Structure 1
Amino acid sequence: MADLWMPEAEHYDLGDHAPTDRQYPPKAVAHITMDRKASAAKPVPHVSFGRLLSYFTGTGRAAAPHILWDPFTGQLAQFYPADSRSKSVADGPGGTRTNRAGRVVLQIEAVFFPHTIFEGKAYERLVDTPCKGWAELHRWVKSHGVPDVWPMGRPTSFTAHRSEATWEAKGGWYAHAHVPENDHTDPGSWPVFKRTVKPSKPKPKPKPAKPAPAAPPFPGRHFFVLGATNKHALQLQKWLHAGDWGPKYQVGPSETMTQKDLQKVAALQAHYASALGPADGLCGPLTWKYAFEVATGRRKR
């Protein structure tokens, strides 16, 4: 049975679940957040995953998708289970209920806008980004029966193509630009479906290189709030101390998160703002990973 909650995503259940209209075939809807206006002449810095996460769990919860996906970092957050509708497309009177018209209607918001700058490079199209996390995201969507087809054509531009009859009758992937009763024209592009091709002859397996130790699993955001006392806070402080971030410790790291520790976290986030911003001092999974990698020499300052 397919997972209602994507295992690779952080889970932020917004509640207010509602069933889909299961007489229609399964669908996925592709969006981009499109939260800044930029151009080739005037590209704009990337809006961080954390900022969009705060929006969809706060003032933007009335328009939240199932999945928020950052194609630069691979971060994923889920707000509704797969068997519930989400709220990312307009649902006008008459016709199908666009947020519900399928056994599943999985809505995916990529954190992207054209001509966004990430780590010093501008990206015009979503497909030009690293698309980290796409393989895991595609696999989860496919596990819910959504076929690898675009009934209205794979999006290659910001052009609308809408057909109520196609939407009702055919399962697969749809751009926001394809959904009836809507006027958005995103996402403009989307990654291709990768299929596994079996080689005609088996190839000898090379000896695997010994992998570098990975960061310990992220234990949860609540371990790093002001006043929290635990072993994970001590570990984070040791990494921040080794990386020489923010204000100096007078007596060294401890198991309790202080205001100084939050300032040190914010200093790390400010240095890697395109990936970790805003510099709010709150440690999430990516900040935890960067602190580990800088302290152990796996990431250059």
Structure 2
Amino acid sequence: MSTKTGPQRYPGASRANWYQDDFGGDPMQVDVVVLHTTEGPTLPGYGGGSSAPNLTAVPDLAAKKLKWYQHFDVETSSRALVNLSGGVETNTQNVCQVELVGTCDPKTHKKWTTAGKAHIYWPDAPDWALQGVAAFLGWMHEEHGVPLVGAKSWPAYPTSYENGGGQRMTAAQWKAFKGVCGHMHVPENVHGDPGAIDFARIIKYAKADLDLDDDTPEATTPPAKPTVPAFPGRKYFVTGATNAHVLKLGKQLVKRGFGDHYKVGPSKSWGEADRLNVRDFQKSRPELRGDADGNPGPLTWRLLFT
């Protein structure tokens, strides 16, 4: 079983619909992102989490941005793919799954448009929506080494349903795949989402954000691991302590997606918000779940900075 290696929370993502505590999941070193479309106009309930992905991107049409909801850690298996008994692994095949709220079905798009129901039709998504997806993929590349490459064929729905476009991978291809694909590419599954999403443009935006050459092979190379600063000692992390180490820890918690308890941001003074954020990080790591007391020690420090 693989060990988690990168930040588990996408910065800014809400955990208002968090399902990992109820459904668990297997830890993985993610090297694949699977894109879905919800085929609905709002954040799904996912059966209380029983069929949820790792994250959902909900378009805020008025603000022209995606609002992200995180349901499972990035490197914990989620539940949005069919996994047949005795077949190839899907949900647990080192995959982070993302649902994009909206539709890839032209008939649904027409019906919603006629009814005046605001939505995103992902094959013709606006630039701001594609850039929002690109930003996430860029983060996955930087933090988890997911290659900014993908499946070659992205046929339109409904041709993409089952394997009408010939796009679905074989078991061997799926096991060897690293990069970004759609639900329609995963073996054992019949769904055809996200259809003819403009994958080339998404990757172009992701590489531009990272200042990468659009054709560079470095895009498939995992980033180097950062140097871990030495743990300064527990005496710096007690109530009322004010020092630069507290601020450094707080900034790293925010970077890793564990800043929910800060009201305005981290500071140099150790307080309850710091302790609660450290506790949340500790609870996310199997190595620390038995010692999730919010007090940073050498192991918490090392895992937080790697």
TM-score range, shorter chain: 0.5 to 0.7
TM-fit CA distance, 1:20: 4.5
Deviations 1:157-185 (A, max 9, x none): 12132211110012111211111111111
In the TM superposition, residue 122 of structure 1 has moved relative to its aligned partner by: 7.0
Q: Report if aligned partners of 1:112, 1:126 keep a CA contact under 8 Å in 2.
A: no
Letter in 2 for 1:80: F
Q: Give the whole-Å Cα distance in 2 for the aligned partners of 1:145 and 1:17.
A: 24
Question: What is the deviation of 1:97?
Answer: 1.6
* 2:34 equivalent to 1:34: no
1:87, 1:127 → 2: CA distance?
27
The separation in 2 between residues aligned to 1:167 and 1:155, in whole angstroms, is: 16
Match of 1:69 among 53, 57, 61: 57
Tell me which amino acid in the other structure corresponds to 1:9: A
Indicate how the Cα distance of structure 1 residues 127 and 154 shifts in structure 2: closer, same or farther if over 3 A, else same.
farther
| CA distance in 2: counterparts of 1:63 and 1:77, whole angstroms | 15
For residues 119 and 31 of structure 2, what CA distance do their matches in structure 1 show? 35
State the secondary structure of the residue aligned to 1:75: strand
Once residues 116 and 11 of structure 2 are traced to their aligned partners in structure 1, the CA distance between those partners, rounded to angstroms, is 28
Question: Hey, what's the Cα distance between the residues in 2 that align with 1:111 and 1:67?
Answer: 11
2:42 corresponds in structure 1 to: 48
Q: Is the 8 A contact 2:137 2:148 kept in 1?
A: no
| In the alignment, structure 1 residue 180 sits paired with structure 2 residue 180 | no
Distance 1:121 1:88 in 2: 25
- 1:64 alignment partner AA: A
Which is helix-richer, 1 or 2?
A: 2
Q: Residue 7 of structure 1 corresponds to which residue in structure 2?
A: 11
Q: Which residue of structure 1 aligns with residue 89 of structure 2? A: 97
Deviation digits for residues 76-96 of structure 1 (CA, Å, limit 9, x no counterpart): 100000121000000101232
2:99 counterpart (109, 114, 130): 109
Give the C-alpha shift of residue 60 in structure 1.
4.4
Measured against aligned partners, the alpha-carbon deviations of 1:273-297 in whole angstroms (never above 9, x if no partner) come to xxxxxxxxxxxxxxxxxxxxxxxxx
- Aligned pair count reads 179
Structure 1 gap ranges (5+): 36-46, 200-218, 221-301
Q: Classify 1:186/1:153 alpha carbon distance in 2 versus 1 (closer, same or farther; 3 Å).
A: same
In structure 2, distance between residues paired with 1:173 and 1:155: 11
Do the aligned partners of residues 48 and 147 (structure 1) sit closer, same or farther apart at CA in structure 2, a change above 3 Å counting?
Answer: same
Partner of residue 157, structure 1: 156
Task: Name structure 2 gaps, 5 residues minimum.
Answer: 214-259, 262-306
